[in-house]
Amino acid sequence: MEEIDLGIEEDTPDRETISFKHFLEKTHAGIEKVVGGVWEPTTENSIRKRKILYPSIRLHCQTCDGMRSYRVVFNPASGWSQTTMNTHAHYRCGDCLEDKKQYALHVEMEDDGSGKIFKYGEFPTMGTPVPKRVLKLLGDADGKLFLKGRQCENLGYGIGAFAYYRRVVENHRNDLFDEIIKVCETVGASGDLIEELKEAKKEISFMKSMEKIKSGVPQGLLIDGHNPLNALHKALSISLHNETDDDCLEYAASVRLVLSDLVERIASLRQDNKQLSQAVQRLLSKKKG
């Protein structure tokens, strides 16, 4: 299980200090933060210098296809008098040693080892890639809209990201119902549940659809015991005009995560049942010796 890093090291009336790790992993481009543990004094050839303490970070590795630890590749010390600098941090996956991540930063060092850091940008952009199964479900046009929403989310544009995601979910409500109905038929769910889902699909609005569903969804599709369709429905009910951009950014991330997890669970259930069916058929078809 991934360890959750809240990033908060110190909270004072005039500033909030976050960890360097949290800044690199979670802070969007174009934002400045007060960061703890930025640098330490060092000595090279009897000369005092300052060395930036680039931390080990956890990112999604495209090559390994999962979360991995990344470490900085090269970290030279700077002159003692140099308290402000523009720097490029080059990171590499500690497992495959192939996947790379770069950060462009402006650093202002404080005497206590902390500092103010501005993130010019990063490459590749922040965030876990959208699962291929999600893009396949959405198709070409809406898949591109979803990726635009992901780009807005990466840049910290909450209202834009949420608007894109919500539009895509609304456009593919029926596709989600179709996929869930297929799962129900695959795993042998009750006829009442399948009929409820078919009736719900006929409704024009998501709200009316949810009113038709009394039995919920198959157990394997629940997320922490909750129906993911309810979560998506509530997201569609949020008024963009009544929320801040930061709130919309959180809602957008939640919609993306719930939709992605639901699609992955649907595919997993269907695959697991297919493999189980094949195993049973192999055993039943085996002739007695």
Asked which of 123, 147, 164 is the last residue of a domain, the reply is 123
Record the tokens describing residue 73, joined without a space: 């590749």
In which domain, by residue range, is 33 found? Answer: 8-123
pTM of the model: 0.62
User: Looking at the domain assignment, is residue 285 inside a domain?
Assistant: no
Output the pLDDT for position 1.
39
Output the pLDDT for position 51.
93
Q: Do 213 and 93 fall into the same domain?
A: no
DSSP E strand boundaries for the chain: 8-12, 15-19, 32-36, 39-44, 47-52, 57-61, 66-72, 78-79, 84-93, 100-109, 115-123
Output the pLDDT for position 37.
94
Summarised one tens digit per residue, pLDDT across range 104-143 is 999 999 999 999 999 999 998 887 778 888 888 888 999 9
Summarised one tens digit per residue, pLDDT across range 85-103 is 999 999 999 999 999 999 9
Number of domains in the chain: 2
pLDDT class of 276 with cuts at 50, 70, 90: low
Asked which of 123, 140, 159 is the last residue of a domain, the reply is 123
In terms of C-beta distances under 8 Å and separation of at least 24 residues, what long-range contacts does 40-46 make, across chains too? 40/113, 41/80, 42/77, 44/77
Taking all residues of the chain, what is their mean pLDDT, rounded to a whole number?
Answer: 85
Q: Do 235 and 195 fall into the same domain?
A: yes
Q: Do 97 and 196 fall into the same domain?
A: no
pLDDT class of 224 with cuts at 50, 70, 90: confident
User: Looking at the domain assignment, is residue 25 inside a domain?
Assistant: yes
User: Looking at the domain assignment, is residue 54 inside a domain?
Assistant: yes
Task: Check whether 167 has a pLDDT greater than 60.
Answer: yes
Q: Do 218 and 188 fall into the same domain?
A: yes
Asked which of 123, 142, 162 is the last residue of a domain, the reply is 123
